[in-house]
Amino acid sequence: MQSLYCEKSTWLHAWPAGLKLLILAAAGSCLFLTDRPAVLLAAAAFSAGGFASLGQAAASARRLALQLLVVASLVAGFHAFMGQAMLGLASAARLVAMALLGVSLTLTTRHTELLAVFEQVLSPLSRAGVRVDRLSLQLALMMRFTEHFFLQWKRLDDAHRVRVGRPGGWRLLAPLTIQMLVAARRVADTLHVRLRD
Amino acid sequence: MLPPSSRSLAPVALFAALLAVFGLIPKIDLPLGVPITLQTLGVMLAGCMLGPKRGLQSLLLFLAAVAVGLPLLSGGRGGLGVFFAPSSGYLLGWPLGALVTGLVMAALPGGTPRRAAASALVASAAGGLLVVHVCGVIGLVRIAGLSWSQAVTGTLVFVPGDLVKCAVCALVVHAVARGLPDWQFGGRATQ
């Protein structure tokens, strides 16, 4: 499974991941302090400009941006239908501003860099016994299980087609869950032996 | 956020993966900007199968994977942008929903597969449906700027589909209780 990160270098790639997250958090807080459509439209235009300036990286996320515009239009249209056009405009503008900032950050920051920032931010929790250093291991396990889910589903579906002559669909959910739980138990035992805690 | 024991790593990652798999099944978009997806079934299953603590961890792991840019939400969505969409209340309600589902599942009787399934039906309705929808309504009010009554009316559209997911969750729990009698639903075993 591919990340949304874009390898094509842009001006935003050079900024540290921590700084980008800090700006996103600050922008998120500020944009919720106002309901003035003019301010929020200016913020949306600024975010859209920043996103467009990413060039090819922005082009790779065209589908995401289009989905966002559709959702923003639906929100604005719904409000207009209810007789609150200005509120709809403000909500849609805020949504576009924040979401485009988030998408820009995701496109220009490797997930390993974001993970490192998350681990750093969460590190005080280690005093309470939380193993923050295992976040990367857990993500890797999750990706492996996702792939394994597909393989198991395909096997069960093939077997069902051979027996019955049509796809298994929902009927496969229970046997798939049982098989995956058994697999997870085996992995848990192995990890327990390897990690010894 | 992360499990203290290495034995918890695999089940927590497994249910985060299940949510990712459910995300690959196509979504249906509604006018409020909130899609109907199968992923809430994953929230219910995580709470019922893993219990409150590991269910919560599983959903936090999934959201962390989404936040770092993996396209795991239905429709290939991911990244930090999704946490500012009208549906973000539902998204942030998932961990809380799994926690409450697990707590209710642990509190209700589960001595036989049939009882475990009945408990799962109630637990998934309480956590995966009620709690997630309350969080979703708060998100619609805060982010989409809807009034409380509009947001509540809007979220009711999802309820019939989510009730079907509660029933599917109960059926899966019943099948697992029969196939793996020693599995600890909500933190305790069936007989």
Q: Model's pTM, two decimal places?
A: 0.77
Number of domains in chain A: 2
pLDDT tens for B149-178 read 888 988 888 888 899 999 999 999 999 999
pLDDT band at B190 (very low <50, low <70, confident <90, very high): very low
pLDDT of B123 strictly over 90? yes
Longest dimension (CA), chain A: 63
What per-residue confidence (pLDDT) applies to B44?
95
Does residue A1 belong to any structural domain of this protein?
no
The string of DSSP letters for A78-135 reads HHHHTT-HHHHHHHHHHHHHHHHHHHHHHHHS-HHHHHHHHHHHHGGGGGGT--GGGH
Cβ–Cβ under 8 Å, residues B65 and B20: yes
Across-strand partners of B77?
B73
Does residue B1 belong to any structural domain of this protein?
no
Tokens, residue A115? 């993970």
Cβ–Cβ under 8 Å, residues B128 and B162: yes
Listed residues A106, A126, A146: the one ending a domain: A126
User: Degrees (nearest 5) of the Cα angle B129, B100, A189?
Assistant: 115
Tokens, residue A34? 């106002």
| E strand or H helix at A25 | helix A17-31
| E strand or H helix at B189 | strand B188-189
Q: What is the ipTM, given to two decimal places?
A: 0.83
Q: Which A residues, 146 through 175, put their C-beta within 8 Å of a C-beta on chain B?
A: 146, 148-150, 153, 170, 173-175
Listed residues A126, A149, A164: the one ending a domain: A126
Q: Which residue range forms the structural domain that includes residue A158? A: 131-195
Cβ–Cβ under 8 Å, residues A49 and A60: no
pLDDT of B2 strictly over 50? no
Listed residues A86, A101, A126: the one ending a domain: A126
What per-residue confidence (pLDDT) applies to B50?
93
Q: How many CB atoms lie within 10 A of CB A14?
A: 8
Pick from B5, B62, B179: CB nearest A178 = B179
A113 and A149: one domain? no
A80 and A158: one domain? no
Q: Which B residues, 91 through 120, put their C-beta within 8 Å of a C-beta on chain A?
A: none
CA distance B33 to chain A (A): 5
Write the CB contacts of A11 (distance below 8 Å, at least 6 apart in sequence): A53, A54
pLDDT of B98 strictly over 90? yes
Cβ-defined contact of B32 to A74 (cutoff 8 Å): yes
Does residue A15 belong to any structural domain of this protein?
yes
Average pLDDT over residues B18-34: 69
A107 and A180: one domain? no
Cβ–Cβ under 8 Å, residues B83 and B43: no
A60 and A99: one domain? yes
The one-digit pLDDT tens for each residue of chain A (197 residues) are 566 788 888 999 999 988 988 888 888 778 877 878 899 999 999 999 999 999 888 888 888 888 888 888 888 888 888 788 888 888 888 888 888 888 898 889 887 888 888 888 877 777 766 677 777 788 888 888 887 887 888 889 899 899 988 888 778 888 888 888 898 888 888 888 887 76
Q: Which residue range forms the structural domain that includes residue B121? A: 6-189
Cβ-defined contact of A149 to B32 (cutoff 8 Å): no
The larger pLDDT score, comparing residue B152 to residue B68, is at B152
Write the CB contacts of B103 (distance below 8 Å, at least 6 apart in sequence): B52, B127, B186
Helix axes A135-164, A111-122, angle to 10 degrees: 120
Q: What's the 3-state SS for B4-29?
A: CCHHHHHHHHHHHHHHHHHHCCCCEE
Q: How many CB atoms lie within 10 A of CB A120?
A: 12
What per-residue confidence (pLDDT) applies to A129?
67
What per-residue confidence (pLDDT) applies to B35?
63
Single out the residue of B63, B100, B57, B65 nearest to residue B186, CA to CA.
Answer: B100
Q: Output the domain CATH number for residue B55.
A: 1.10.1760.20
Does residue B32 belong to any structural domain of this protein?
yes
A61 and A118: one domain? yes
Longest dimension (CA), chain B: 49
Alpha-carbon span A180 to A145, nearest angstrom = 8
DSSP state of B130: I
Alpha-carbon span A181 to B179, nearest angstrom = 11
What per-residue confidence (pLDDT) applies to B34?
60
Using the Cβ of A123 and the Cβ atoms of chain B, whether some distance falls under 8 Å is answered with no
Tokens, residue B59? 């959903």
Q: Token pair 């475990």 is at which residue?
A: B116
Alpha-carbon span A42 to B162, nearest angstrom = 39
Tokens, residue A132? 């923050």
Does residue A55 belong to any structural domain of this protein?
yes
Best mutation target, B14, B60, B150, to test chain A (most A CBs within 10 A): B14
Number of domains in chain B: 1
pLDDT of B94 strictly over 90? yes
pLDDT band at B31 (very low <50, low <70, confident <90, very high): low
Alpha-carbon span B60 to B134, nearest angstrom = 18
Alpha-carbon span B41 to B47, nearest angstrom = 10
